[in-house]
Amino acid sequence: MIFVVQIAIVMSTLENNVLSPAESIRLLTEKVQTENQIIQLLRKEVSKVIVGQTHMLDRMLIALLAEGHILLEGVPGLAKTLAIKSLSNALDASFNRIQFTPDLLPADVSGTLVYNQKSEQFTVKKGPVFANFVLADEINRAPAKVQSALLEAMEERQITIGDETFALPSPFLVLATQNPIDQEGTYNLPEAQVDRFMLKVVLDYPKMEEEKLIIRANVRKEGLEKVQKVMGVADILRIRDLVREVYLDEKIEQYIVDLVFATRNPTKYGLPQLEHIVDYGCSPRASINLALAAKAHAFLQNRAFVTPEDIRAVAVDVMQHRIGLTYEAEAENMSAKQIVEAVINRVDVP
Q: Considering just the CA atoms, what is the radius of gyration of the chain in Å?
A: 23
**What is the rounded average pLDDT of the residues 180-187?**
68
Between vectors from CA 313 to CA 348 and to CA 247, what angle results, nearest 5°?
80
Summarize pLDDT for 14-50 with one digit per residue, the tens.
345 556 777 888 888 899 999 999 999 999 988 888 8
Q: Closest Cα to residue 235, out of 128, 132, 106?
A: 132
Residue 305 is classified by DSSP as B
- Rounded to whole angstroms, the Cα distance separating 290 from 104 reads 33
pLDDT at 317: 96
CB neighbours of 267 closer than 8 A, spacing ≥ 6?
Answer: 275
In the chain, domain spans:
23-244, 246-350
Residues 6+ apart with CB under 8 A from 255: 308, 311, 347, 349, 350
Q: Which helix (H) or strand (E) holds 266?
A: none
Query: What's the chain's average pLDDT?
Result: 86
Taking only the tens place, the pLDDT of each residue in 71-115 is 988 877 777 878 888 888 888 888 899 988 888 888 899 998 888
Quote the CATH superfamily of domain 246-350.
Magnesium chelatase subunit I, C-Terminal domain (1.10.8.80)
CA 305, 306, 309, 314 torsion-angle sign: positive
Q: Does this chain's domain 23-244 share its CATH topology with 246-350?
A: no
Angle at 190 between CA 326 and CA 97, to 5 degrees: 135
User: Rounded to whole angstroms, how far apart are CA atoms 189 and 178?
Assistant: 10
Residues 330, 336: contact at Cβ < 8 Å? Answer: no
For helices 284-300 and 54-65, give the axis angle rounded to 10 degrees: 110
Domain 23-244 carries which CATH code? 3.40.50.300
Percent of the chain clearing pLDDT 70 (strictly above): 92
